[in-house]
């Protein structure tokens, strides 16, 4: 294999940061550099106080404190990192396009393309380029085309090595990966590059869990894995609506079907809708690819997963408005949670953003508490949605008006004390499954709220029995009466 003793990763985000930190931990002989154009992000990664790391992830600060300054370095000097490294991971963001051709559907690959150009311009020796970002099938082809156009005498090999970590469990997912997937080109140089990457992972991943495929299969497997996972959530969420109409209980149904080893019990938790930076983006990307390759039936099939997710979010907001006597205008609604799932400060595509938007359309006053998400982030999420609404919604909400930010700032309040957020509220909506919500003093909260005191548990984490006994009017996803 190629000799590799220095690697770098372009993109110090939710994937680049934790992934490189774990490689540095498991491979002390490797020099690992993580670079980014975002100066603030790099400064936060270098912050002496580990509470200030740019992302919150259980176990991350321990890995950083062990490796940073030893063989893990964060920097904004991208050129130097490219020149020093024999292997370069590209882990930049690949969001849904918000403009032009493929707007609202296709992946925006401009950041990936920029990386390829920068590598080609600066390379002074042969390099292995590793696609870590999630990309449409055949992106490796485009990267190669750019690299080879520079003709600077260097050999470039492109590998696909998609990342399967989930946020909130990133460190344990990386340390105990179900599998590592490496796609390479089927020639001598491709195989040598593949061997060099296998060498790195072999330091802690058992050989049988390292899968080698052709490059197109690897690229497509990442989109497919996320589509299947999201499809399970949409499937159980579809059943949750039927449970509510029929008196069935979605958690009982999930348990009963999950015991079938062919179905399996994971990823069957009904919720207010899936969020996160990946599921919706990757399915839309898949749908776009299918349309591009003239497979409209396949495209429509997968698009339904996103439609159903929009429906689930809309159903929840509508339930709140309907239950509160058909208007929330001027009413105080407390949100417990803003992150798209527990144990992360990431809010991208969080269901909470859409629920807030729909309630704001009905003129609610929203009081938010989340243990990890900053006030600034919450307002920027709401602002982003106001500016991009039509691209991001497939159904229902295109009739919504954009709301001006000064109005949003009047109606939305962010609290650092959960009890203050719920003080004199008309209703509480649980939107993230943070464990601490279960241990609150619900008796005290009830006393402090307006009556009737409503709870809408979008995660089914609070004991309905306990809340009913205290006197709350409770709504749970998928629990029919």
User: Mind telling me the catalytic residues?
Assistant: 278
Binding of residue 164 to ligand UDX (CB under 6 A): yes
User: Which of ligand NAD, ligand UDX, none does 24 bind, CB closer than 5 to 8 A by kind?
Assistant: none
User: Which of ligand UDX, ligand NAD, none does 94 bind, CB closer than 5 to 8 A by kind?
Assistant: ligand NAD
Q: What is the C-alpha to C-alpha distance for residues 384 and 327, in angstroms, rounded to an integer?
A: 25
DSSP letter string, 13-44: STTHHHHHHHHHHH-TTSEEEEE-S-HHHHHH
Binding of residue 165 to ligand UDX (CB under 6 A): yes
Q: How many residues does the chain have?
A: 481
163 is in an annotated binding site: yes
Binding of residue 267 to ligand UDX (CB under 6 A): yes
List residues bridging with 413 in a β-sheet: 367
User: Which of ligand UDX, ligand NAD, none does 91 bind, CB closer than 5 to 8 A by kind?
Assistant: ligand NAD
Residue 22 sits at φ, ψ, to 5 deg, of -70, -40
287: Cα within 13 Å, side-chain hemisphere: 23
340 vs 472 by CB, closer to ligand UDX? 340
Tokens 């990757």 locate to 282
User: Which of ligand NAD, ligand UDX, none does 226 bind, CB closer than 5 to 8 A by kind?
Assistant: ligand UDX
Q: What is the C-alpha to C-alpha distance for residues 309 and 321, in angstroms, rounded to an integer?
A: 19
Binding of residue 269 to ligand UDX (CB under 6 A): yes
- Would you tell me how many other CB atoms lie within 10 Å of the CB of residue 327? 12
238: Cα within 13 Å, side-chain hemisphere: 11
Best CA proximity match to 63, nearest among 174, 221, 156: 174
Contact mark string toward ligand NAD, 249..268, x via CB under 6 A:
--------------------
Binding of residue 360 to ligand NAD (CB under 6 A): no
Binding of residue 16 to ligand NAD (CB under 6 A): yes
Shortest reach from residue 179's CB to ligand NAD, in Å: 14
Binding of residue 370 to ligand NAD (CB under 6 A): no
Best CA proximity match to 19, nearest among 122, 130, 158: 130
Best CA proximity match to 387, nearest among 396, 400, 374, 376: 400
204: Cα within 13 Å, side-chain hemisphere: 14
Task: Return the residues of window 89-128 that contact ligand NAD according to CB under 6 A.
Answer: 91-94, 111, 114-115
Shortest reach from residue 173's CB to ligand NAD, in Å: 9
**b/e map 227-255, b = 16+ CB within 10 Å:** bebbbbbbbbbbbbbebbeeebbbbebbe
> What distances in angstroms separate CA 117 from CA 248, 272, 355, one per listed residue?
56, 41, 40
Binding of residue 18 to ligand UDX (CB under 6 A): no
460 is in an annotated binding site: no
- Would you tell me how many other CB atoms lie within 10 Å of the CB of residue 262? 5
Shortest reach from residue 368's CB to ligand NAD, in Å: 22
Task: Return the residues of window 172-231 that contact ligand NAD according to CB under 6 A.
Answer: none
Shortest reach from residue 210's CB to ligand NAD, in Å: 18
Shortest reach from residue 324's CB to ligand UDX, in Å: 24
User: Which of ligand NAD, ligand UDX, none does 108 bind, CB closer than 5 to 8 A by kind?
Assistant: none
Which residues sit at the interface with ligand NAD, rule CB under 6 A? 10-16, 36-38, 41, 78, 91-94, 111, 114-115, 133-134, 163, 165, 167, 277-278
Please enumerate, by residue number, every residue annotated as part of a binding site for NAD(+).
11-16, 36, 41, 92-96, 133-134, 167, 278-281, 348
Which residues sit at the interface with ligand UDX, rule CB under 6 A? 163-167, 226, 229, 233, 267-269, 271, 274-276, 278-279, 340-341
């Amino acid at each position: 294999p190629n000799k590799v003793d220095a690697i770098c990763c372009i993109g110090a985000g939710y994937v680049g940061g934790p992934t490189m930190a774990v490689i540095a931990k498991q491979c002390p002989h490797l020099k690992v550099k993580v670079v980014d154009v975002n100066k603030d992000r790099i400064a936060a990664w270098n912050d002496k106080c580990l509470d200030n790391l740019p992302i919150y992830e259980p176990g991350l600060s321990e890995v950083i404190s062990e490796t940073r300054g030893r063989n893990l370095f964060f920097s904004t000097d991208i050129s130097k990192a490219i020149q020093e490294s024999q292997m370069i991971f590209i882990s930049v963001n690949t969001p849904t396009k918000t403009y032009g051709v493929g707007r609202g559907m296709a992946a925006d690959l401009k950041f990936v393309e920029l990386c390829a150009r920068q590598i080609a311009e600066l390379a002074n020796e042969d390099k292995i380029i590793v696609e870590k970002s999630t990309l449409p099938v055949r992106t490796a082809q485009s990267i190669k085309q750019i690299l080879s156009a520079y003709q600077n005498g260097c050999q470039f090999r492109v590998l696909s090595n998609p990342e399967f970590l989930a946020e909130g469990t990133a460190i344990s997912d990386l340390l105990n990966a179900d599998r590592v997937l490496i796609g390479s080109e089927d020639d001598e140089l491709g195989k040598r590059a593949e061997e060099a990457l296998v060498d790195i992972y072999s330091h802690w991943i058992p050989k049988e869990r390292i899968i080698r495929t052709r490059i197109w299969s690897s690229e497509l497997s990442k989109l497919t894995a996320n589509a299947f996972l999201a499809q399970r959530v949409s499937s159980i969420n579809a059943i949750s609506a039927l449970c509510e109409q029929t008196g069935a209980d979605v958690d009982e149904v999930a348990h009963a079907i999950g015991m079938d080893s062919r179905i399996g019990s994971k990823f069957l938790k009904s919720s207010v809708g899936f969020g996160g930076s990946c599921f919706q983006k990757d399915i839309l990307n898949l749908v776009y690819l299918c349309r591009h390759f003239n497979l409209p039936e396949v495209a429509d099939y997968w698009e339904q997963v996103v439609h159903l997710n929009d429906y689930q979010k809309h159903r929840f907001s509508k339930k709140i408005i309907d239950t509160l006597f058909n208007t929330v205008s001027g009413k105080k609604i407390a949100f417990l949670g803003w992150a798209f799932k527990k144990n992360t400060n990431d809010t991208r595509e969080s269901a909470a953003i859409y629920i807030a938007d729909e309630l704001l359309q009905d003129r609610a006053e929203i009081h938010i508490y989340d243990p990890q998400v900053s006030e600034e982030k919450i307002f920027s999420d709401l602002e982003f949605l106001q500016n991009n609404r039509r691209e991001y919604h497939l159904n229902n909400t295109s009739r919504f008006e954009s709301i001006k930010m000064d109005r949003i700032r009047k109606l939305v309040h962010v609290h650092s004390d959960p009890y203050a957020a719920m003080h004199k509220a008309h209703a509480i909506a649980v939107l993230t499954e943070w464990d601490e919500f279960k241990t609150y003093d619900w008796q005290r909260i009830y006393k402090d709220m307006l009556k009737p005191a409503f709870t809408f548990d979008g995660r089914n984490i609070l004991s309905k029995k306990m809340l009913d006994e205290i006197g709350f009017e409770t709504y749970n996803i998928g629990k029919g009466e």
